[in-house]
Amino acid sequence: MSTLGIKGEPFVDLLPGDAFQPCFLDVPSRPRAGFIWPSLRTLVVTERVRDLLLRLAPNDIAICPVTLRKVGARSAALEPPIPTTGEPEDIIDEMPLLDDPTTAGPYFEVVIRHESGLPPGGIPKSVCSGCRRVDIARNRQLRMTDEMWNGQTIFTMATTCYIIVTDDCKQAIESLCPTNVIFESI
């Protein structure tokens, strides 16, 4: 069954654990970073990073505005507090919040639309008939090869949560001097 996704384009890869818009951001401190990493395979960026990515890779990503819902008033540079319950997910409930969380933004979620070919040793062992998640052999190599690249500027490495960008994209991002992002060669 095919449904309509971002901008009315069809997709069929809706899997357990996937999320729908709107994207809400609840953080215990005022964000100041160019990149925020709220979960695996998801990135949230500032307006200037969004604009750069849209210019460099308009067909490789989709951008959705983030709704700043609960934003802590404290500085993100401070040590994270330990909530009285000891549970990390309870931090936001014990922090003083900004009266107007929109003053901390805007931020945008970047949805990466493509992934590479399978890495060496990444041949699927099986596919779950219920959720279609792929079981991959553990002996795969976490190395990007020329054969895996499908021509995109930004994409994820198949079987991983790694976000891959071309050298030109990396240099353009670095020229912005964004915070909270590190580039590694794989």
My answer on whether 108 and 133 are in the same domain is no
**Residue 137 forms part of a structural domain:** yes
My answer on whether 28 and 94 are in the same domain is yes
My answer on whether 66 and 100 are in the same domain is yes
Contact 113, 151 (CB under 8 A): no
Report pLDDT digits (tens) over 137-163: 777 778 889 999 999 999 998 888 889
Q: What is the pTM of this model?
A: 0.80
Domain count across the chain: 2
My answer on whether 63 and 155 are in the same domain is no
My answer on whether 93 and 44 are in the same domain is yes
Report pLDDT digits (tens) over 8-17: 555 556 666 6
My answer on whether 9 and 61 are in the same domain is yes
Report pLDDT digits (tens) over 51-109: 999 999 999 998 999 999 999 999 888 887 888 998 988 888 888 999 999 999 899 99
Count other Cβ atoms within 10 Å, centred on residue 154. Answer: 20
**Residue 34 forms part of a structural domain:** yes
Under DSSP, the state recorded for 147 is G
Q: How many CA atoms lie within 13 A of 152 on its CB side?
A: 22
My answer on whether 53 and 89 are in the same domain is yes
Report which of 133, 116, 115 is spatially closest to residue 124, judged by C-alpha positions: 133
My answer on whether 66 and 150 are in the same domain is no
Domain range enclosing 47: 3-112
